């Protein structure tokens, strides 16, 4: 993953509220502004779409388009809901991004609670993900606590 794609993933993570949520409603234009402001990376709109497609294909993000239908039959496209997957959260933790451990904990607790809203489990968790063993969940929670204490 090159620097621009990682910068976009970090920018999307920052827009989730530092791990409080694992989805964002940020638009591509706002991503371009934040990349320029925070990461000093100048990119065009088309390149952001290509990077997002590559990140989604790699399994780090999932994206659902949104539309608003009007009474007169017209349709407006809204910014997509972009969600960070479990694989994406693990990548952010491995890159030592501050707050990524909280995101990982929130995704695991979200998966445990059987939440029916967006994003669906199939969009966040890998296909080979099985229900979390309580001993494994405890081990992950202890690991997250140790990482948070060291930060």
What pLDDT digit, counting tens, does each position of 91-124 carry? 988 888 888 888 888 877 777 776 566 666 666 6
pLDDT reading at 27 higher than 70:
yes
What pTM value is reported for the model? 0.69
Residue 65 CB coordination number (10 Å): 9
CA 144 → CA 36, 69, 138, distances in Å? 32, 43, 10
Number of independent structural domains in the chain: 1
The whole-number pLDDT of residue 131 equals 61
Q: How confident is the model at residue 18 (pLDDT cuts 50, 70, 90)?
A: low
Higher pLDDT, 85 or 20: 85
Distance between CA 121 and CA 128 in Å, rounded?
A: 12
Residue 44 pLDDT > 60? yes
Backbone dihedral angles phi then psi of residue 102, each to the nearest 5 degrees: -65, -40
Domain region containing 66: 3-150
From the centroid of its chain, how far is CA 50? 17
- Give the CATH number of the domain where residue 105 resides: 1.10.10.10
Provide the pLDDT for residue 151.
55
Q: Is the pLDDT of residue 128 over 80?
A: no
């Amino acid at each position: 993953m090159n620097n621009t794609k990682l910068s976009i993933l970090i920018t999307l993570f920052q827009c989730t509220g530092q791990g409080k949520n694992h989805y964002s409603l940020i638009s591509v234009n706002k991503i371009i502004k934040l990349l320029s402001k925070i990461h000093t990376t100048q990119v065009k709109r088309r390149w952001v779409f290509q990077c997002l497609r590559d990140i989604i294909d790699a399994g780090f993000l999932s994206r659902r388009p949104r539309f608003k239908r009007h009474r007169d039959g017209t349709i407006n496209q809204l910014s997509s809901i972009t969600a960070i997957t479990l694989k994406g959260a693990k990548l952010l933790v491995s890159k030592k991004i501050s707050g990524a451990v909280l995101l990982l904990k929130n995704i695991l607790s979200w998966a445990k609670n059987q939440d029916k809203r967006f994003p669906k489990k199939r969009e966040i968790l890998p296909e080979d993900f099985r229900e979390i063993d309580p001993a494994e969940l405890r081990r992950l929670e202890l690991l997250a606590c140790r990482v948070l204490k060291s930060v």
